[in-house]
Structure 1
Amino acid sequence: MSALLRNRWVRLGLVLVVAIVLIAAPLMLPAFANQTLIRIGVYAVAVLGLNIVMGYTGQVNLGQIFFVGLGAYVAAYGVTHDWNIVLVFLAACLVPGAVGLLVALAAARLGGLAIAMVTIALPIVGVPLAKRLAGLTGGSQGVSARFSGAPDWSGLYDDQWQFYLMLLVTAASFLLVRNLVRGKFGRALAAVRKNEAVAASIGASPYRYKVLAFTAASIFGGVSGFLYLAAVQYTSPETLNFGHSIALVAAMVIGGAGSITGSLIGGAYYVFVPQFTNTIDPNLTAISQGVILLVVLFLLPGGLVSLPRVLRRLTRRLTSRPPRTPPVRHPSPEQTERQAQA
């Protein structure tokens, strides 16, 4: 099977089939299913950005939700002031990217707990700041911004139009990151993650690439915020809640750190697992999610994306194990003597 997937034409065929399914899906699914898939795309982009800085670079970032919320607020501001949709999208990317660059320039030289504390402070400060800047953010009540309704010429329902918007932005984001991490930039990030001294010796400045990785993660956080507003059409200080940031980190780890596919799995985990645990017992949601996280980490340290590799390894061990033969029992001297006398 793995040899078959290495064939270029087979991979192109699979990509074409997946693309056709994704394009046709919103036309056949009910509205609630489309909304669920849209939310998966929203948070998959957020996890993708987090994966750049944590999975590929090995730098701690516990404040990704701050950039998601900031992107949503910037998009809401642009929509309420009648900006062009392209300008709204660019602003939702560039403003979080600029803030992330400033934070990275100050914090990239730090390591361990120090940078963790800096990133933790972002959502902790962001929530009261959003409440105080009521003129821009709507205060505690939040702000509504409807801009993703289907145009009349499309003949689509709103949920279908939002799905295609999400699909376009998410596919472009994943393709861009895939090309980045498979090129020179990705090799430099891998060198920084493994050994900063070795990376510096080969010309890859750890400080520079940490700043670039954190800035890229912030930009994709803004992209996720734009998609969030397009889907929900509302944002509030709750969007910046620190608990959501920890949930994003858990989603990245469970999906698979340092994996493009793992980011998509992480987005699905972020959406489906809270729904699943709530149906079991709403009062034990946090405990249930913690148990799921521990079980996955113990069984699959590489995340769910490593499951096929683990299964192949187990299958190979079982098929290559030689059959057990019963031991040969030699007769004792007494038995040999009795047989000779007989």
Structure 2
Amino acid sequence: MARAVDVPAPSLRQRPWVRRAAPLLLVVLLAVLPLVLPESTNETLARIGVFAVAVLGLNVVMGYTGQVSLGQIFFLGLGAYITGYGVQQDWNVVLVFLLACLGAALAGLVVALAAARLGGLAIAMVTIALPIVGVPLAKRLSDYTGGSQGLSARFADAPEATGLYDDQWQLYVVLVIGGIVFLLTRSLVRGKFGRAFAIVKGNEAVAASMGISPYRYKVLAFTIASLIGGVSGFLYMFVIQYTSPETMSFGHSIELVAAMVIGGAGSIVGSLLGGAYYVLVPELTNQVDSSLTALLQGVVLLAVLFVLPGGLASLVRRLGRGRRRLRAEPGPGASPTTPLSTAGSATATEEPGTERRGHA
């Protein structure tokens, strides 16, 4: 006779009402936080959101598609310049946002059409040229960029009807726009395009044999990353309200790549953690010793990658696997139970008279 097996109750996270309530709780939390946090914290969180979006764009092309891109900061700077110029010309803010996104996407498409057929170091060299060319170009086009003096544009004042302070308004705008970008990107990388990106990243020859064009999907990934860079440029100008040629310098591009690696390549959560690293770690190292900022950041980078080669996001995954393993392990003194199907099959296949022969 088959022995009854106790089926464990579903964990709290697996219950349907928890899965439905968790997003709503997160939205409520994000809606309340800007109202209760001090001004300095709201400003810091807004900057983290700006660079989390920038790291997310870099993650699309590097983390999910496996293409080396060292020029993502160029598209952030381009979006910031388009935003600043449009605001100074009193253009509609929605139009300015669209132009910043589309301008960066178009520039990325042009670069991708030429560079996507390359690979490895060749495409890295092409993307390195973007910030190297972008800095002197921004200085030369002084009628549009302000030259070496940079470009300022203040358009983040909170509308009087909202009753919000400026820092609260800025954080709300970053949360809404950044949240939409993160949700759309999450849907993208978890759908058929994400699966195609993963196959191209794994082996381009295999992708081609499956009817997936590596060139087409690399161009698509690079263009999407550039568009997201334009969004981060708009948010950068919205929060910082000033940009200069230094914004798109090659050093900042390398810092953006380091933020993506430390946060976790090919991870949505890693993009958020990378944005926090980009903003918080330089502030902390400056407080320790401003003359050793670069050295201390390098030490932090090496330490994180030595302990967590997959970045900080891998720590979240490890903790999740550890909790599941603990729940799966039987408690002390508990005996392993035989699955119902196994017990049933064993009983059904047992030969008649086995027990009698054993007792005999």
Q: Using structure 2 for the length normalisation, give the TM-score.
A: 0.86
- Aligned pairs for 1:262-273 within 5 A: 262-273=270-281
- Aligned pairs for 1:120-131 within 5 A: 120-131=128-139
The reply on whether 1:202 has 2:243 as its aligned counterpart is: no
2: CA distance, partners of 1:11 / 1:107: 42
What do residues 24-67 of structure 1 show as CA deviations (whole Å, max 9, x unaligned)? 11111111111000001000000000000000000000000000
Distance 1:284 1:142, change over 3 A: same
2: CA distance, partners of 1:307 / 1:58: 22
- Aligned pairs for 1:139-150 within 5 A: 139-150=147-158
Query: How many angstroms does 1:229 deviate by?
Result: 0.3
AA aligned opposite 1:102 = V
Alignment match of 1:305 (pick from 313, 328, 333): 313
Runs ≥4 in structure 1, deviation > 6 angstroms?
A: none
2: CA distance, partners of 1:49 / 1:2: 36
Query: How many angstroms does 1:314 deviate by?
Result: 6.3
Alignment match of 2:290 (pick from 282, 288, 294): 282
* 1:187 equivalent in structure 2: 195
* 1:119 equivalent in structure 2: 127
The reply on whether 1:158 has 2:140 as its aligned counterpart is: no
2: CA distance, partners of 1:312 / 1:72: 38
SS of residue in 2 equivalent to 1:131:
helix
- Aligned pairs for 1:26-41 within 5 A: 26-41=34-49
What do residues 174-227 of structure 1 show as CA deviations (whole Å, max 9, x unaligned)? 000011011110000000000111111111100000000000000000000000
2: CA distance, partners of 1:309 / 1:29: 29
AA aligned opposite 2:308 = L
1: CA distance, partners of 2:236 / 2:106: 20
Alignment match of 2:180 (pick from 172, 184, 198): 172
1: CA distance, partners of 2:140 / 2:79: 18
Query: How many angstroms does 1:157 deviate by?
Result: 1.0
2: CA distance, partners of 1:7 / 1:139: 57
Deviates more, 1:90-99 or 1:22-31: 22-31
1: CA distance, partners of 2:10 / 2:75: 38
* 2:22 equivalent in structure 1: 14
Alignment match of 1:105 (pick from 107, 113, 116): 113
AA aligned opposite 1:63 = G
AA aligned opposite 1:178 = R
AA aligned opposite 2:195 = R
1: CA distance, partners of 2:287 / 2:273: 21
Deviates more, 1:56-65 or 1:294-303: 294-303
SS of residue in 2 equivalent to 1:59:
coil
* 1:240 equivalent in structure 2: 248
The reply on whether 1:72 has 2:80 as its aligned counterpart is: yes
Query: How many angstroms does 1:109 deviate by?
Result: 0.5
2: CA distance, partners of 1:153 / 1:312: 44
* 2:5 equivalent in structure 1: none
* 2:300 equivalent in structure 1: 292
The number of aligned residues is: 322
In structure 1, runs of 5+ residues without a counterpart are: 324-342
Distance 1:63 1:308, change over 3 A: same
In structure 2, runs of 5+ residues without a counterpart are: 1-8, 333-360
Distance 1:248 1:173, change over 3 A: same
Q: Using structure 1 for the length normalisation, give the TM-score.
A: 0.90
The reply on whether 1:260 has 2:260 as its aligned counterpart is: no
Identity of aligned residues (%): 68
